[in-house]
Structure 1
């Protein structure tokens, strides 16, 4: 019978049918890759290893991915949403009517598109076949896009042609959308938005087999990136939200929202935080900040280096911050009136607590919209003197030019949003997804590639942590906001709306106002923010900041970033303002502080109730309070 060891599979002298099968499979795969590489113009590929251990690794990768799928248990809190939201056919049906009106049959357009396509093929492939050296930078291609900045997109003709053809297709489709006829302006903007969303989703960078970076990463890690990516994907599906940053990297009160203070007042709607002074004297008139209730307040208190709150305290301001409660079933009947009443309640409490006649106020985004209504109510009641000044951070009151969010405001989409409400509130994850769609390339597909395809570890980024820290909205108020403000634009119509029995007329506002807009803001475009100036009776100052909705506001002097523009003679339009504006480098915060001190520069000692937590004034709890931690 000979040596028994020779009969054992896998040992010297033995015969292992499984190993032979793997070897044959490897040879066939190598031949296939060789043909692909030959077509692609790539150098001969390194022969695949035929070691069974390497194939065992790939088998392990597939098995672990399968195990993760089988163990997956989704979060049912968003289960069974209405069909019009989840069925892709419904979205495509809405867009289909628009595309039927696009000039696809135009002979001139078709001819130009064909010529462009032929030129693309000839131009890209010609650079690889015409004897031009293929250096590390790759060929000179007609179209550039930062999604394809990695040199691997240019080094091989297959991937160069794939991404260049995609960019040409996107360009042509966008041009067709721009030429669409027979559509109302709002519908045409929706078509442009839908076209951009569609083309961004179809990018070859989003698919593993057409992304050379993902293919190379998969070979390098022997598929471990796919296992990690699968784990990330299933985790996100379970929680119903895309993860942008390391969920364990930040903790409220420890490394974000860490400016010292006390919660000194609370209602079922909000907590009021007073921050501890750091200067011996403070401005007599305190500051009350109203952040947007669609996000957590700590965008203005991310960390000591970025915190507007900490900076304002260091300048000698007594700062109060409203921390809105994330909606739950108890807030099912909350509407417009309740947020206006809450702002007035916060103002009155600060006035009473500190014994002052008036306060400075800040309203950020939608809280600024409500602050304008609050001022109109107070002035209508003869109580406008309660507010020494009002500052608006990227806030809109006239929604004529309200930007890309209008693409989500029609009867069909409002009905879909209403159907998604549960127990009287709208899950904050839905709003987060909506805002992510406005910049889907940056906030969706970029993370699909990094998290799911490349299997990268999550970064620790405080701004992205805040962006994903969603807040639920009262369903009734959300509906009113979309219909009365965004769709019907009633806030700028005198007495078309009311709050707590008082008609709202913005032209009655006599409070001095400081209005900040972001030059690149896509949520509250500067053209829209500017419109507030057209409705005020009192004095106002407009200032245009560099960057957008967040970075345009959160730009501390220490960063040395961006710039801002001022104009003492602003004119009647934003174009007039820009034409005569003076540019200033860096942060605008100091400029705003100068404006605040112009309203009232009186200072008093920072003692007594100016320093919360003292004798006889323990407060309710330490900042940042419970409400901001409620999920």
Structure 2
């Protein structure tokens, strides 16, 4: 429940990185500068370094004698093979690695460096320690077993995978077998049609799946950073199908994947396009109000639109607003901000304006380094050391279906993290209109993930407090994506809720109740109560003014 890792606590890269890191990027010079600072400190304080070197030497001596000094984290699956505890050679190798990790953490903690420098040092050494894990070598017992079982072919297959990734995947191991999925055939398969298209988006209307439907539709606003079909993966965890089967009329936005021609598309451009889509939903369904649902950066866009509508006294067009892992309050008290100084922010802006876009692959690399053991080294072992193909997993396929951000929107997001403008009236101006979220009185339903390192849950909680109207906040027991993909029947699903929203997230959490199961039914009850009366289902899609253009999933989602 802490933003900064406690002293002696096991550290992960995700402890130091979040959405701001992905938007800003990580510069190699900053990492090298941190290592240089540590080197200078070691030379200036040789007694401190010598004391910890002697301590490490003492531990390694005991390890050689067969002592078991440390236990790996029980949630660390890298060392789950019994060979690491039963074989004397491997047990000593693991104990030496754990001793090194512990002593490095203690060396940094006791260094007397300023807090910011210590945090940077922990981050860099966490990445190095993960890379130096004994599981990332051919001596990994799993790799040796596979080598013998395959008659040596696993080594040649792994080498082939490595060469292919060096040529076609920026040197990172692939996380998914791309050939296993195809948009429109194995993912994003819910029947529907594109009923409106402009330069920025396609609006998809889905065919109903219930005998009756509610009058007010639901419009899903996905993040511009990813493609929309996170809401429509396989049928078993398709949020779109869940809503359709429960009587909701569902529309979703599919953002265009921009290229350098679209460098001037900023937040205001996206808000204007979203307002146009909102009006199309109203025109097709005949409803005066629309329920909105936004995820991540889509939630920010949705909030900005409501601020504009409020200023124009047209907020009555919105019946309710659902925010999924969305930041409106961008103040994040974590070491990630230590690398995002003024110089880094300006350098990030220059890079994207020079290229016209922020390449989605650059963001994907930062996201991968947030959880390197899960998203890099796990596949390094599987693909290269074991010679196996990466698994066919729909979420990872979606995660690797990268999109770009236009330079202007990238700059707007950088300014959003720098200035935190929505926390005070008029701090953010969109479409020439100052925004005041406290005057947005639309009822809201917000969801965060307790294990979400991209948009930390306490920041999402504070974002909820910025809104007016009736507010409900739910904290899922999952991470960034799995908080959204949380269908009923998921045995791991649970959440905590407290109807009393205090100013302190931790006070709220302390008094919250734990509930087993998915939050989807709770959301459904809220949204159905705000969706008007039920009527006979209308099977036709679009209308005379907005005829169907292409079958779902449309054309924009296919652009790479």
**TM-score when normalising by structure 2:** 0.88
SS of equivalent to 1:255: coil
SS of equivalent to 1:274: strand
Q: How many angstroms apart in 2 are the aligned matches of 1:450 and 1:436?
A: 16
Q: Deviations over 1:437-466 (max 9, x none)?
A: 110111011111111122112211111111
| 1:149 equivalenced with 2:80 (yes/no) | yes
Q: How many angstroms apart in 2 are the aligned matches of 1:361 and 1:407?
A: 35
Aligned residue number for residue 44 of structure 1: none
Q: How many angstroms apart in 2 are the aligned matches of 1:194 and 1:259?
A: 44
Aligned residue number for residue 286 of structure 2: 355
| 1:368 equivalenced with 2:299 (yes/no) | yes
Contact kept? 1:403, 1:524, Cα under 8 Å? no
Q: CA deviation at 1:92?
A: 1.3
Aligned residue number for residue 387 of structure 2: 455
Q: CA deviation at 1:416?
A: 5.0
Alignment match of 1:428 (pick from 360, 384, 395):
360
Which is further off, 354-363 or 418-427? 418-427
| 1:200 equivalenced with 2:140 (yes/no) | no
Aligned residue number for residue 190 of structure 2: 259
Aligned residue number for residue 517 of structure 2: 586
Contact kept? 1:405, 1:523, Cα under 8 Å? no
Contact kept? 2:215, 2:285, Cα under 8 Å? no
SS of equivalent to 1:305: helix
Contact kept? 2:72, 2:79, Cα under 8 Å? no
Q: CA deviation at 1:190?
A: 3.6
Contact kept? 1:163, 1:204, Cα under 8 Å? yes
| 1:93 equivalenced with 2:33 (yes/no) | yes
1:173-184 → structure 2 map (5 Å cutoff): 173-179=104-110, 181=112, 183=114
1:391-470 → structure 2 map (5 Å cutoff): 391-401=322-332, 406=337, 409-418=340-349, 420-421=351-352, 423-470=355-402
Contact kept? 1:328, 1:423, Cα under 8 Å? no
Alignment match of 1:595 (pick from 526, 529, 536):
526
In 2 relative to 1, CA 98–535 (structure 1 residues): closer, same or farther, beyond 3 Å?
Answer: farther
Q: How many angstroms apart in 2 are the aligned matches of 1:90 and 1:406?
A: 12
In 2 relative to 1, CA 92–437 (structure 1 residues): closer, same or farther, beyond 3 Å?
Answer: same
Q: CA deviation at 1:548?
A: 1.0
Contact kept? 1:102, 1:176, Cα under 8 Å? no
In 2 relative to 1, CA 117–175 (structure 1 residues): closer, same or farther, beyond 3 Å?
Answer: same
In 2 relative to 1, CA 509–615 (structure 1 residues): closer, same or farther, beyond 3 Å?
Answer: closer
Q: Deviations over 1:72-109 (max 9, x none)?
A: xxxxxxxxxxxxx9996663124422564589938578
Q: How many angstroms apart in 2 are the aligned matches of 1:202 and 1:527?
A: 33
Q: Please give the root-mean-square deviation of Cα atoms over the aligned residues, in Å.
A: 2.7
Q: Deviations over 1:108-130 (max 9, x none)?
A: 78546634542453256335xxx
SS of equivalent to 1:361: strand
Q: CA deviation at 1:586?
A: 0.9
Aligned residue number for residue 284 of structure 1: 215
**TM-score when normalising by structure 1:** 0.78
Alignment match of 1:237 (pick from 149, 162, 166):
166
In 2 relative to 1, CA 582–405 (structure 1 residues): closer, same or farther, beyond 3 Å?
Answer: same
Alignment match of 1:302 (pick from 218, 225, 233):
233
Q: How many angstroms apart in 2 are the aligned matches of 1:207 and 1:301?
A: 38
| 1:562 equivalenced with 2:493 (yes/no) | yes
| 1:223 equivalenced with 2:149 (yes/no) | no
SS of equivalent to 2:321: strand
Aligned residue number for residue 125 of structure 1: 65
| 1:531 equivalenced with 2:462 (yes/no) | yes
Alignment match of 2:204 (pick from 268, 273, 289):
273
Segments ≥4 residues shifted beyond 6 Å: 613-617
Q: How many angstroms apart in 2 are the aligned matches of 1:347 and 1:180?
A: 56
Q: CA deviation at 1:282?
A: 0.9
Give the structure, 1 or 2, with the largest relative contact order (CA under 8 Å, sep 6 or more). Answer: 2
Contact kept? 1:291, 1:363, Cα under 8 Å? yes
Q: How many angstroms apart in 1 are the aligned matches of 2:69 and 2:96?
A: 15
Q: CA deviation at 1:371?
A: 1.6
Aligned residue number for residue 40 of structure 1: none
Q: How many angstroms apart in 2 are the aligned matches of 1:140 and 1:181?
A: 26
Aligned residue number for residue 335 of structure 1: 266
Contact kept? 1:402, 1:486, Cα under 8 Å? no
Contact kept? 1:570, 1:580, Cα under 8 Å? no
SS of equivalent to 1:557: coil
Contact kept? 1:299, 1:466, Cα under 8 Å? yes
Aligned residue number for residue 629 of structure 1: 558
In 2 relative to 1, CA 321–155 (structure 1 residues): closer, same or farther, beyond 3 Å?
Answer: same
Q: How many angstroms apart in 2 are the aligned matches of 1:320 and 1:86?
A: 36
Aligned residue number for residue 515 of structure 1: 446
- Where structure 1 has 5 or more consecutive residues not aligned to the other structure, the ranges are 1-84, 128-138
- Where structure 2 has 5 or more consecutive residues not aligned to the other structure, the ranges are 1-24
SS of equivalent to 2:326: coil
Q: How many angstroms apart in 1 are the aligned matches of 2:362 and 2:500?
A: 42
SS of equivalent to 1:217: helix
Which is further off, 399-408 or 419-428? 399-408
Q: How many angstroms apart in 1 are the aligned matches of 2:542 and 2:283?
A: 17
Contact kept? 1:305, 1:558, Cα under 8 Å? no
Q: CA deviation at 1:250?
A: 0.6
In 2 relative to 1, CA 415–229 (structure 1 residues): closer, same or farther, beyond 3 Å?
Answer: farther
